[in-house]
Amino acid sequence: MSGVTEILSRIESGDPAAAEQLLPLVYDELRKLAAARLAREKAGLTLQATALVHEAYLRLVQNQGAGQWNSRGHFFGAAAEAMRRILVEQARRRKTRRAGGDGQRHDLEGVDIVAPEPAVDVLAVHDALARFEQMDHVAAELVKLRYFAGLTITQAAEAMGISSSTADRYWAYARAWLHTELKQARSDP
């Protein structure tokens, strides 16, 4: 009996430690299987092979009734089926209106705002940033890193210990707030 088949038998008999021993033995093969599945998907899929393997594996070992694997082949068949279901669920989620439905995605990297930026008064920016910092210290720190230190979103996010997507949200919020504040300061005598 192979190592995988032996561990599968132990899982079937209820040994909780066996599931922990299974993943290191089958991980590389599951990763190859996931990569092959994802290669057949449309471009733009956000799910990566590693995440697909982890999700499929969790579903396999957490479903008590599904742990009845006769052999290594049966286990990998079940893993392939779990991966298929995950991909189908994700495809359905992407088609929902909330996730954008059939909308077209456009890369906004390098796209500038259509409205021209006014000439910036450093003192006005400093004063507005001081007011903004009292409202949202983290977003203000991001502005300082981006505006004054010249860091990219990714670099600033890394420096602050936050994700790039969070930094993008903070940056959009901060820019809108500062733009409104600076526009108001220019119109007030």
CATH of the domain at 36: 1.10.1740
Task: Tell me what pLDDT residue 97 has.
Answer: 63
Residue 87 and residue 25 share a domain? yes
3-state secondary structure of 42: coil
Quote the pTM value. 0.45
Is residue 106 one of the residues assigned to a domain? no
The whole domain housing 91 covers: 3-95
CB neighbours of residue 171 within 10 Å:
19
189/179 Cα distance (integer angstroms): 17
Burial of 81 (0-12, 13-18, 19+ CB in 10 A): middle
How many domains does the chain fold into?
Answer: 2
The ranges of the chain with pLDDT < 50 are 1, 64-66
3-state secondary structure of 41: coil
> Nearest 5 degrees, angle CA 114-CA 100-CA 39?
105
Q: What is the pLDDT of residue 172?
A: 93
Q: Are 33 and 76 in contact (CB under 8 A)?
A: yes
Length reported for the chain: 189
pLDDT at 102: 60
